Chains A and B, each alone.
Chain A
Amino acid sequence: EIVLTQSPGTLSLSPGERATLSCRASQSVSSSYFAWYQQKPGQSPRLLIYAASSRATGIPDRFSGSGSGTDFTLTINRLEPKDFAVYYCQQYGGPPYTFGQGTKLEIK
């Protein structure tokens, strides 16, 4: 099973700043099979990025994904108040599919 470790656990930033969230895999993951999700309190997760760098439908270009092998990054430019949430990475190379433990992005 591929273990995903996200860092930092909590990220405190102000609106307008840039957020950089990291996800490290215990073994190499094909970049074709890597995703990011956003979850706000009381809501279901929402797909942001798939195939490591492709934005899902309706996701603004302030969100970008990058990475390969074992290191992947989600970057959010010009943070807006609605961006403060928990973010999860996921690999989907085949079952079992695994998630990172999440990074909480909070307002500083």
Chain B
Amino acid sequence: QVQLVESGGGVVQPGRSLRLSCAASGFSFSSYGMHWVRQAPGKGLEWVAVIWFDGSEKYYADSVKGRFTISRDNSKNTLDLQMSSLRAEDTAVYYCARGFGLGYFDPWGQGTLVTVSS
């Protein structure tokens, strides 16, 4: 079955970096755009970034532009999110999600929690 498993979350100090990964299985990973979506504790959903199926296009939310980098390795079926200059407001559960069409998300991974705190 289609499965997305995130890893790499943890506690990090403000200004530091962290790299999240998402391992995909059960589908043709190289055929789909992939997204990162985050959810701050007790809050709603915020789209973070998308990468096209072949990595040719990448787009970011204004809140993370210039600090986060999305990438993928289609040979390994993995999606990454490199996060730098982290801020307290980046604290959230980060989900990876498969994109359909222009961008609805199905399915979602179980999420990985990133806490930015000194």
Chain A residues with a Cβ under 8 A of chain B: 1, 32-33, 35, 37, 39, 44-47, 50-51, 56, 88, 90, 92-102
Contact B104 A90 (CB under 8 A): yes
Chain B, range 31-64, C-beta contacts under 8 Å to A: 35, 44-47, 50, 59-62
- B contact face: mostly helix, strand, loop, or mixed: strand
Which residues of chain A are within 8 angstroms of B35 by Cβ–Cβ distance? 97
* A88 partner residues in chain B, CB cutoff 8 A: 44-45
Q: Which of B15-23, B77-85, B95-103 makes up part of the contact surface? A: B95-103
For B61, the chain A residues whose CB sits under 8 A away are: 96
* Neighbouring B residues of A101 by C-beta, 8 Å: 44
Give me the 5 closest cross-chain CB pairs, A-B, nearest first. Answer: A92-B103, A95-B59, A47-B106, A44-B108, A35-B104
A50: B residues at CB distance < 8 A: 100-101, 104, 106
Q: How far is the CA of A20 from the CA of B44 in the complex (A)?
A: 20
Min CB distance B96 to A, Å, is 10
Task: Name 30 A/B residue pairs within 8 A (Cβ), A-sorted.
Answer: A32-B101, A35-B104, A35-B105, A37-B45, A44-B108, A44-B110, A45-B45, A45-B95, A45-B105, A46-B107, A47-B104, A47-B107, A50-B104, A88-B44, A90-B104, A90-B105, A92-B103, A92-B104, A93-B102, A95-B47, A95-B60, A95-B103, A96-B62, A97-B103, A98-B47, A99-B45, A99-B46, A99-B47, A100-B44, A102-B44
